[in-house]
Amino acid sequence: MSVPASDARQSPTDAYLALLGTRVRQIRARRGMSRRILAEAAGISERYLAQLEAGKGNASILVLQAIARAMHVALDDLVEDRAAQGSDYLLARERLRGADEDAIARVLDGLRGGTRPAPRHLALIGLRGAGKSTLGAALAKRLGLPFVELVQEIEREAGMAVSEIFARGGQTTYRRFERAALAVSLERFERAVFAVGGSLVSEPETYDFLLAHCCTVWLKAQPGEHMERVIAQGDYRPMAEHRDAMADLKRILAERSSLYARADFTLDTSSADVEDCLNTLLAHPAVRALATPN
């Protein structure tokens, strides 16, 4: 996650609060949460959240930062909720902080247990409007496989609509059902083509589980095309909710791009028709290997 360089004229306190505000904005964008939704979920005022993101947060966190600095540890070593912090664990955290993306990827491969078995499922990921439902259904038909919209499986698992899940338990409850529905669905379908929600990639454990069990394809498009396709489907909510919808969409895409890029391969659907995209997918060896045996 990139963060802006500190202004040399800033005091260490101001620089830290600016960094904290930037990280809150970045993580909020990655999860696709509006400021209002996050404020409600956190039980704080939207005004306070705006101040925090502007680098003017409550000074109480600076006390923790000062304590951490005095002990020569990172702030997250103090505030994380893991009960046990052995020396090897702390050393690994310290090494990871300075590691590049390639080194981190190798560590993750090791934690997963090395080479994964050949996936029996294909999962399409990306923002709304990328073409997951359209291409997923067409691809499943050509491969002779079931097409599974994960959101429908989430509703099946929860026994209620997504809107009701959020109304009753918020995003935390939704994420719990999402993880359970994914595990159940992968077990239930011997082979299948999945379309998953665009925000699943922001939930590390669920996304890692998906990557370990599915051949994944990032359907990539330009922000304007995402918005146009969603509206063309008759969904005007993105533009109706607030005037900064396009700016928010660009921010979300920017923050999630590195996560989407962890997919096995990427298909750019910008200015491409369904048939061309479908043929490109079918030409990939990993996709052809998923076809139902004759």
- The CATH number of whichever domain residue 210 belongs to comes to 3.40.50.300
Quick check: is 293 in a domain?
A: no
Note whether 64 and 76 are within 8 A (CB): no
Q: What is the pTM of this model?
A: 0.74
Instruction: Tell me the C-alpha to C-alpha distance, in Å, between residue 282 and each of 143, 276, 278.
Output: 9, 10, 6
- Closest Cα partner for 193 from 153, 137, 154? 137
Are residues 24 and 152 located together in one domain of the fold?
no
Are residues 219 and 277 located together in one domain of the fold?
yes
Are residues 144 and 266 located together in one domain of the fold?
yes
- Closest Cα partner for 25 from 50, 47, 57, 6? 50
Are residues 82 and 143 located together in one domain of the fold?
no
Domain C-terminal end among 71, 100, 129: 100
Are residues 45 and 156 located together in one domain of the fold?
no
Q: Would you say residue 6 has pLDDT above 70?
A: no
Are residues 132 and 232 located together in one domain of the fold?
yes
- Closest Cα partner for 117 from 45, 186, 49, 62? 186
> Which residue type is seen at 165?
I
How confident is the model over 76-97, as pLDDT tens digits?
Answer: 877 776 667 676 877 788 888 8
Quick check: is 132 in a domain?
A: yes
Quick check: is 116 in a domain?
A: no
How confident is the model over 107-121, as pLDDT tens digits?
Answer: 877 777 666 777 899
Domain C-terminal end among 35, 66, 100: 100
Helices 162-188, 204-213: axis angle to 10 degrees equals 30
Are residues 82 and 156 located together in one domain of the fold?
no
Quick check: is 208 in a domain?
A: yes
Quick check: is 17 in a domain?
A: yes
Quick check: is 105 in a domain?
A: no
Query: Looking up tokens 């928010």, which residue turns up?
Result: 248
Quick check: is 108 in a domain?
A: no
Average pLDDT of the chain to the nearest whole number: 83
* All residues at 6 or more sequence positions from 187 whose CB lies less than 8 Å from its CB, including other chains: none
- From CA 20, how far away is CA 2, in angstroms rounded? 12
Q: Mean of the pLDDT values across residues 8-26?
A: 80
Structurally, the chain folds into a number of domains equal to 2
Quick check: is 5 in a domain?
A: no
CATH number of residue 63's parent domain: 1.10.260.40
Report residue 251's pLDDT band, with 50, 70 and 90 as the boundaries.
confident
- Closest Cα partner for 256 from 286, 209, 218? 218
Q: Would you say residue 138 has pLDDT above 60?
A: yes
Are residues 54 and 91 located together in one domain of the fold?
yes
Are residues 94 and 126 located together in one domain of the fold?
no
Are residues 72 and 128 located together in one domain of the fold?
no
Instruction: Tell me the C-alpha to C-alpha distance, in Å, between residue 69 and each of 64, 65, 102, 113.
Output: 9, 6, 29, 36
Are residues 132 and 93 located together in one domain of the fold?
no
Are residues 80 and 128 located together in one domain of the fold?
no
Domain span at residue 164? Answer: 121-288
